[in-house]
Each structure stands twice: as structure tokens, then as C-alpha cells.
């Protein structure tokens, strides 16, 4: 049944509106090939990189530039040959490619945003490097559907409470829409908001965790366009 009352819809960006993680995965594959370790598998290298990212992301945040920094640190830790002056430059190029790939909207996103924007108040709520995220929003062409764009370092429960306060929202009439249980769904529910989970098969594994129990406050959809059936 459709929600007839006007709501605040807080919508995630990466892997909710457009493809994102697949490009980081391709950069990682290129990194593994370049490292060419004698016995570590790609999974082993990923584990080493995860350890670095879990520490550095708390300090530097997210985005392709920080991903490049993490890969460079991982390379220095794991490389078996003598490092060459251009090695880090090569690693940086893998991440630079992420910055310049065309924005690929997920199926049904533009039409769904156009529909929702006539019925509800839309807020783009994303985390990452501010300049990088703003560039992606501009290149996506969907920024016109949002009344506000908010970019934060981390999307935890406190960030949601602050957003609700800053925009003077009623949390009972606010829904967070996203693909990440860790950043979109669970902290929004913890902050007293509602949440609509739109899974993506290539969600970054560090964003994956069990969904919190949400009862009627949690809506689980198959695809982004299904929002039109409920809002």
C-alpha cells in the first residue's frame, strides 16, 4: 500500500543510485596483478588491504584517493621485489581511473526519483570525500531531484540524529533508502528513523552485516524502482 503522507526520503548515492563498488573491485584486481605475489592469493591480499582500510578509513575517510593511499601502503607491506620510483604512481593510476569512469545509473533510478520528488522531500545523504562525491552528483544528472545534499565522513546513528535536527525532520516521517546495512539501514533504525533496504549484489563487503530488526519501520525491496509502489 502506498504511503500517502509526505515524507523525508534520505537516499544513499553509491551503489544505490549509481554503480560504484564494481570500479573499486576492478582497481583492486589490477593492483593484485601488479603486485604479482608469489604465494598470496587475491583473497589473502584483500585481507591485508582490509586491515589497512579498517584503520585508515577512520582517519582519512573514504573515496578513491584514500583507496589509493591504502593500496600503496598495502603494496609497501607485501611487495617482494625492490620498489621502483614509478610503482606508487602506477598504483595511484588504478584509483584515478575510478574518478574518471562514466557514471552508470542503476536501472529505474532517474524515473523513480522524478516520481518521488513530486510527492516527497528528497535528501541525498552520502559519505565519502566531499569533492569527489559532489563531482559524482554533478556528473550523474540526478542532483536536481534533491532539496538537500549532505556528505559526511561516516554515516552512524549520531550522523542521522544530527541530520534530523539540522533539517528539522520528524523521524517518524523520515526514511533512509540504501544498499548498506552498516551505513544506511542499521544506524538509521538506531536513530529512530524508518529504513528501506535496496540490496545490491556487489555491495562492498566491509559494508555488509546482518540487518537489524526493524519491524514495520523496515521495508525490504528488490530494486530501487519498487519505491514507487510504497511512496
pLDDT of residue 1: 42
- Rounded to whole angstroms, the Cα distance separating 135 from 10 reads 19
pLDDT of residue 140: 95
Which residues does 198 contact at the CB level (< 8 Å), separation at least 6? 16, 177, 178, 179, 221, 223, 224, 226, 227
- Rounded to whole angstroms, the Cα distance separating 143 from 11 reads 11
- Rounded to whole angstroms, the Cα distance separating 136 from 153 reads 16
Strand partners for 196:
177, 219
Query: CB–CB of 46/25 below 8 Å?
Result: no
Domain at 8-18+103-230: CATH code: 3.40.50.1000
pLDDT of residue 2: 53
Encode the chain (231 residues) as per-residue pLDDT tens digits: 455 689 999 999 999 999 999 998 999 999 999 999 999 999 999 999 999 988 988 877 788 888 999 999 999 999 999 999 899 999 999 988 887 888 999 999 999 999 999 999 999 999 988 888 999 999 999 999 999 999 999 999 999 999 999 999 999 999 999 999 999 999 999 999 999 999 998 887 777 788 898 889 999 999 999 999 999
Residue pLDDT, tens place only, 196-205:
999 998 887 7
pLDDT of residue 3: 56
Candidates 78, 23, 86, 26; CA nearest to 51 is 78
Q: Residues 27, 33, 35, 37: is their CA dihedral positive or negative?
A: positive
Q: Which CATH architecture has domain 22-100?
A: Orthogonal Bundle (1.10)
Candidates 147, 131, 151; CA nearest to 139 is 131
3-state secondary structure 17-61: CECCHHHHHHHHHHHHHHHCCCCCCHHHHHHHHHHHHHHHHHHHC
Residue pLDDT, tens place only, 181-231:
999 999 999 999 999 999 998 887 777 788 898 889 999 999 999 999 999
In the numeric block, the cell 559519505 is attached to 127
Which residues does 201 contact at the CB level (< 8 Å), separation at least 6? none
| 163-193 burial: b if 16+ Cβ within 10 Å, else e | bbeebebebebbbbbbbbbbbbbbbbbebeb
Three-point CA angle 127, 133, 134, nearest 5°: 130
Candidates 98, 119, 123; CA nearest to 175 is 123
Question: Looking at beta carbons, which pairs linking 51-54 to residues 24 or more positions away fall under 8 Å?
Answer: 52/77, 53/206, 54/206
Domain with CATH 1.10.150 in the chain: 22-100
The pTM is what? 0.88
- Rounded to whole angstroms, the Cα distance separating 221 from 106 reads 15
Domain with CATH 3.40.50.1000 in the chain: 8-18+103-230
Candidates 138, 165, 133; CA nearest to 152 is 133
Amino acid at each position: 500500500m502506498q504511503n500517502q503522507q509526505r515524507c523525508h526520503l534520505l537516499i544513499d548515492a553509491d551503489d544505490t543510485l549509481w554503480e560504484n563498488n564494481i570500479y573499486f573491485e576492478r582497481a583492486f584486481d589490477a593492483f593484485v596483478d601488479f603486485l604479482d605475489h608469489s604465494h598470496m592469493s587475491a583473497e589473502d591480499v584483500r585481507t591485508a588491504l582490509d586491515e589497512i582500510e579498517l584503520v585508515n578509513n577512520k582517519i582519512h575517510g573514504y573515496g578513491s584517493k584514500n583507496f589509493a593511499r591504502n593500496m600503496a601502503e598495502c603494496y609497501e607491506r607485501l611487495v617482494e621485489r625492490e620498489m621502483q620510483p614509478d610503482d606508487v604512481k602506477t598504483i595511484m593510476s588504478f584509483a584515478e581511473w575510478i574518478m574518471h569512469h562514466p557514471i552508470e545509473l542503476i536501472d529505474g533510478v532517474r524515473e523513480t526519483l522524478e516520481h518521488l520528488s513530486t510527492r516527497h522531500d528528497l535528501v541525498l545523504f552520502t559519505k565519502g570525500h566531499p569533492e569527489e562525491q559532489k563531482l559524482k552528483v554533478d556528473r550523474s544528472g540526478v542532483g536536481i531531484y534533491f532539496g538537500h545534499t549532505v556528505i559526511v565522513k561516516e554515516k552512524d546513528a549520531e550522523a542521522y540524529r544530527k541530520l534530523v535536527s539540522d533539517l528539522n525532520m520528524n523521524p517518524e516521517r523520515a526514511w533512509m533508502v540504501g544498499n548498506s546495512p552498516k551505513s544506511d539501514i542499521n544506524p538509521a533504525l538506531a536513530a529512530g528513523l524508518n529504513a528501506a533496504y535496496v540490496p545490491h549484489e556487489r555491495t562492498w563487503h566491509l559494508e555488509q552485516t546482518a540487518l537489524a530488526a526493524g519491524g514495520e519501520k523496515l521495508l525490504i525491496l528488490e530494486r530501487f524502482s519498487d519505491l514507487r509502489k510504497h511512496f
